[in-house]
Structures are given as C-alpha cells and as structure tokens.
Amino acid sequence: MRVGVFTPLLSQLPLDEVLKKLKTKGIDTVELATGNYPGDAHCPVAMLDDAAALDAFRRKLADHGFSISALSCHGNPLHPDAEHARRDAEVNRKTIELAARLGVPVVVDFSGCPGDSPAAKYPNWVTCPWPPDFLEILKWQWDEVVAPYWTQRAAFAAAHGVRIAIEMHPGFVVYSPETLLRLRSIAGPALGCNLDPSHMFWQGIDPIAAIPLLGDSIFHVHAKDTQIYPRNLPLTGVLDTKPYTDERRRAWIFRACGYGHGAEWWSEFISTLRMYGYDYVLSIEHEDSLMSPEEGLTKAADFLNAIVLREPPAAPWWV
C-alpha cells in the first residue's frame, strides 16, 4: 500500500511543479483529474488526440518517477439537464479511453443523480421511503436512467481493460455501500467503488466496518477525514444543507486526515483494507477549510506515511 495525492488542490501549479513538490513529501503516486467537477488542470482528455502532448505527459511522470493510481472525472452524467449529462458522460468516456492508453487501471466518477422524471430541472436525491412519492422517484431513476447508463458504461470500461470506481457520495444515487453494491450487481464486476471515508462518517457508516461488506469491490481509496460536531447536532442533525464554509454552525465538515479521526482509527482502517485484499493507494484529497492546501497536504502525507503498511506481510512463524 502507498500514499498518493489527488492533485486538484494544486491546480494553480503546472504538473512538474506538482510532482517536484510531492516528491519532497514522500509521495510518488498521483490521481489526476480529467474534467467535470474537479477540472482538468494536469491531465486534459484532449491529450487523446495529441500524441505529442501525451508522450510529453508520459515522460514527465516517468522523469519524476511517478505512477498514476487513477484518472478521475467526478461528474453527473445523469443530470436532468441533457447538455450537462451529455458533457459529463463524454468526459467519462474519454477518461476511460485515456486510462486505457496510459495503462491506468482505474477511472473514478460519481454515479450521477437524475431528476424526478424526464421533465425535471434538477437532480432529486432520495433519502427516505415515505411519503410514497419517494419510492416512485427511486424506481424510475434506477430502472430508466441509472441501470441502463452504467451497464453500458461498465461494459465499455471492461472492453478497455479499465475498472470504474464509483465514489459513494451524497447527492448521487450511489452514496452508501448498499447503493454501490446494488449498482455493481446490475453493472457487473468492472464497476466497484472509490471509498472516501469522509462521506461515510456522517451517514452513520463506519468506513472500517464497511470494508468487509464492500470486499473486492474497493478499487480505489480517498484519504480524507470528517469531523462531526456534536454541539451542533441537536439543532441541525446530520442532514446539513449549510455551505461547507459555515464551520461554526455546521454539523460536520471535511478535514485533513488525522484531524477528524486519530492515528488509531486510520491505522485500523489501513489494516482492515489490507485484511480484505485492498493493498493499493490511499489518495489524499484536500478539502479542509481550516488549513491551507499546502499545510493540509503536508500534514496528511506525514500522518499517513507514518502508519501506512508498505511491505507485504510475511508468513507467520509463531503460530
């Protein structure tokens, strides 16, 4: 297992500056964004049509001794706005092709969220079973939109030798192990998840306990933390719609690793990932509004590098 970095937090720097900086922090793996919500500062899909750019890109990574853990294009390819959906789906398609071209085994995306019907204006994220409206919405979304799109797309990825890691994320139909496993049972084994613990905590899901359930569907892992504020729960509960920057009043915010849960938690998280067969990358994502990106990145890298399990275990001689 090793520590990597998802680079949008350094979008203002050119890629080689990013790689140089990360090297000093003991990092040599990156997850690169190819468009949609996280932008494409370091890895535009346009390289697909520009052999020279692609070649230069490959060389830059090789020169700095870096590998790519995943290409990521978090979007909403099922958005009720047809143009929005088309654009995001197109980036997804090209990202799969680019991953195949670069030998990157994983493409990360959101599942997307449709509206309440073909005529909808906005996504309709269903989180309760009553009144009956909600189960009707859910049935339509899965049967008519979610299942067809991802079945086709997972086949496309499989055909390219790439696996799709859906980030379980609030606001999209796949937001929990249960919804992920439902989609995987529909779309097949080329579709699994990007496990970002920061989206699990406030739903009452202990990411450590989720690992045995997700098993070999874990294709990629984000290293981001969440702090829940019990002092604000009696007013707000976990269903908090206030902006992430309203830290004093929010029920929870995102934090750098170690600032939401301590080393004891992360050590068990890492150990449990290994125990259930995941021995790949912990990709640091920075969305901690109480820390500068630079300091957040440094803290998270130091924190994780001290506890990550790098070597494969040996046969136990003592049993």
Residues 67-106 touching its own copies, rule: CB under 8 A, are 76, 79
- Interface characters, 201-240, with its own copies (x: CB under 8 A): -xxxxx--xx-xx-------------xx--x-xxxxxxxx
State in angstroms the smallest separation of the CB of 102 from its own copies. Answer: 25
Among 59, 178, 185, 189, binds its own copies (CB under 8 A): 178
Task: Please count the residues of the chain.
Answer: 319
Among 21, 101, 125, 305, binds its own copies (CB under 8 A): 125
Among 90, 134, 155, 158, binds its own copies (CB under 8 A): 134
Can residue 196 be called a binding residue for its own copies (CB under 8 A)? no
Three-class DSSP category at 84: helix
Q: With contact defined as beta carbons under 8 Å apart, do 95 and 40 qualify?
A: no
Residues 264-303 touching its own copies, rule: CB under 8 A, are 264, 267-268, 271, 274-276, 287-295, 299, 302
Can residue 307 be called a binding residue for its own copies (CB under 8 A)? yes
Helix (H) or strand (E) run with residue 23 in it: helix 15-24
Can residue 48 be called a binding residue for its own copies (CB under 8 A)? no
Among 171, 186, 188, 305, binds its own copies (CB under 8 A): 171
State in angstroms the smallest separation of the CB of 59 from its own copies. Answer: 29
